[in-house]
Structures are given as C-alpha cells and as structure tokens.
Amino acid sequence: MLKTALQPRWIAGLLFALVLSTVFVLLSQWQFSSAESGDAGEPRATEEVRPLTEAFTPGKPMYETEADQMVSFTGSFDPDKSVLVEQRLQDGETGYWAVTAFNVDGAPSGEFIPVVRGWVPDPDDVSPVPTGDAAVVGRLLPSEAPLAATPEEGRVSALSTAELINLWDAPAYSAFVTASEITVDGSPVDSGSMEPVQVSAQPEDTPVNWLNIFYALEWIVFAGFSVFLWWRLVADEYQRSLEDDEYEDDDDDGAPESDNQHPSSEVTK
C-alpha cells in the first residue's frame, strides 16, 4: 500500500487533504473563540448603591443575585456588640476585622446587621465605636459558616450571623456589610489606624454560545474526515491493483497449451 500512496497523484491528494484539514481546524478555532461572547449580558448593577431595606430582607437566605450589592443604610452602632474576627488577610498580612452590630432604621423587626468597620494588624489598633446617628455605605455579603474553634472572649473565627445572634441575643440580617464609608451626624468618621476592607464584586459570568461550540466540533470532524477520505481512496486503489494482479495471474495459469503433434500412421487402403 505504501507503493500506491507514494504515487505522485496520491502525494498531491494527501497535500490537498492536509491543506483542507488545516483550513477546517482554523475555522474550528474561530468558532470556539466566538463561542464566548465579549458581552456579559445585562449587568447586575452591583456597584449602584441601593438602600439595604430594599436590596435585602431579613430572615431569609441570600441569593447569588443579591450578593456583592453596594448598599446604604442609616441607624446607629451598638458599642456593646462588637467582636474581632481573627485570621483576616489584608495585602498579604494577617490581622483582624473589627465588627460591630448596627441597628438599621426601617428593619422590619429591629434587626441589626454586622458591619466590618475596618482591618487592623493588632487588636490594640481598633478605633472606638462611633456614637450618634450614623450612615453606612458598603458591600453586602453572605454570612460565613460558623467554625468549631472558640477563640477568647470578644473574638470569633468566622463572621457568622447565626453565631452572633446567639452571642448577642438579638435578631439579625443573615448577611454582613464591609463598610467603605461611615459618617456620623453627617461627618466622616476618623478610623484611626484601621484600614477599610475592600471587597471587589465577583466577575460576571460570560455566556457561552453552544451553537458555536457545535459548529467548532463539526469543523474538527470535517478535518479528520478529509484525511480519512484520502486514506480510503488510496486503500481502494491498492485493493484494485491487487485484484488486477490476481486476474492476470489467473489468465496466465488458464491459458490453453498447444497440442503436441504426433506423426499419423499411414492408412493402408
């Protein structure tokens, strides 16, 4: 079969099949790249600040579409309800989140929401809890799961609203807020050595066009089929050559031999 494949016309056919399959592969790559649209669709508008009482309702779990929303709310901090959340990273350094309960104006049943006022590398750097009429702008995040470890008093291992409800014996939102702006009586609060905790919104999912994926797979099949078709044609040609040789051998074996001529006896009349 190799002898047949090395014939000039079949070598040319192979080159043509390889060029054709290369074109099909390039078309497949183009379809794959087009499958992910550059447009992420309708944005969730998490960066548009919304009132907390409109964005999230107490007493229910948080859905994915509600997480990461920038919210605003007014009320007051409760200085008797503060904890430090341990093992929190900020710019590669481990420290603490300073968290204080915030009594939200307009909450249905007077629920509080935990507010992360800032991050500190040392507990002694925590600023005093602001007093007075306060306003907070920050990012709404889902509650963390409680951990089994029990640190010393005034500290927790995770920011779990369920744990804080038991600790402070008061109803709460099943979420917390990382504050990016805190004002009291209209004036910004001096956070001292505390650094604000910056949490970026989660990236939007990029929609996938499954029709383009299907077309891309089709082009890959076509690329393989073009080489297979060349191989099939060469195999058929090789088989025909074998059959022709066999027929020729049969013809040679079945050819009639010439009759031997014997001298005839003389007939005596």
User: Which two structure tokens, joined as six digits, stand for 217?
Assistant: 């797979």
CATH code for 50-188? Answer: 2.40.50
User: Which two structure tokens, joined as six digits, stand for 73?
Assistant: 């709310």
In this prediction, residues 240-265 reach a mean pLDDT of: 59
State the pTM of this model: 0.62
129-152 burial code (b ≥16 CB/10 A, e <16)? bbeeebbbbbbbbbbbebeeeeee
Q: Summarize pLDDT for 48-75 with one digit per residue, the tens.
A: 999 999 999 998 888 888 888 999 999 9
Pairwise CA distance, residues 76 & 256, whole Å: 119
In this prediction, residues 101-122 reach a mean pLDDT of: 95
In three-state secondary structure terms, 184 is strand
Percent of all residues in the chain with a pLDDT value above 90, rounded to a whole number: 44
Q: Summarize pLDDT for 169-208 with one digit per residue, the tens.
A: 999 999 999 999 999 998 999 888 899 998 877 665 566 6
Output DSSP code: residue 111: -
Rounded alpha-carbon distances, angstroms, from residue 195 to 98, 167, 181: 10, 26, 11
